[in-house]
Amino acid sequence: MFRRRNVSALVFLLWVYSTTTWAGSEESNITLSVTGADSDVGNIMASLFDSAESYMETPLVDVTASVDEHGAAVLNFGSHLPGQFAIVVFYDKNENGKLDTGFLRIPKEKVGFSNNAKGRFGPASWDDALFSLDGVDLQVAIELIHAKKN
């Protein structure tokens, strides 16, 4: 009888530990809504970054979607474990698969960052663009802007 209670208690403790460990590491889906493009023209290209070191250099995930009749697009980055992330998007209006830049590498096409962060003399910083993922599906919205007003 004594052993049965010890085994039952051990099984219960292992179950509690395993459910709290799994609950703290649940993957969450990241969905992005982008607005501010021209109707039915071009693509939205978006990159998800998972660290300050990789930011603007090595994305965790790249996704692309066509712009709809409202000048918007919805993109899905899939599921990810909790952590800190940032998103960078650009409007590939001419569909050449790259961000077109001009003098001093200033983007000619619209860009955007998570938190609608804005850069000053360059892209938004990691700290301004980062958001936390904590086990709950997340909807992120970004409004495209011109890097330099014409």
DSSP letters spanning the chain: -HHHHHHHHHHHHHHHHHHHHHHTT--EEEEEEEE-SPTT-SEEEEEEE-STTTTTTS-SEEEEEE--TTSEEEEEEEEE-SEEEEEEEEEETT-SSS--B-GGG-BSS-EEEGGG---SSSSPPHHHH-EEE-SS-EEEEEE-B-SS--
Per-residue pLDDT of 70-85, as tens digits, reads 999 999 999 999 999 9
> How far, in whole angstroms, is CA 129 from its chain's centroid?
10
**pTM of the predicted structure, to 2 decimals:** 0.81
Q: Give the per-residue pLDDT at 117.
A: 97
> How far, in whole angstroms, is CA 113 from its chain's centroid?
9
Sites in the chain below the pLDDT cut of 50: 1-2, 10, 13-23, 150
Supply φ then ψ for residue 111, to 5 degrees: -135, 170
Q: Give the per-residue pLDDT at 5.
A: 57
Q: Give the per-residue pLDDT at 123.
A: 94
Per-residue pLDDT of 38-56, as tens digits, reads 999 999 999 999 999 999 9
Count the alpha carbons within 13 Å of 124 in the hemisphere toward its beta carbon: 22
Q: Give the per-residue pLDDT at 121.
A: 84
Domains of the chain: 28-143 (2.60.40)
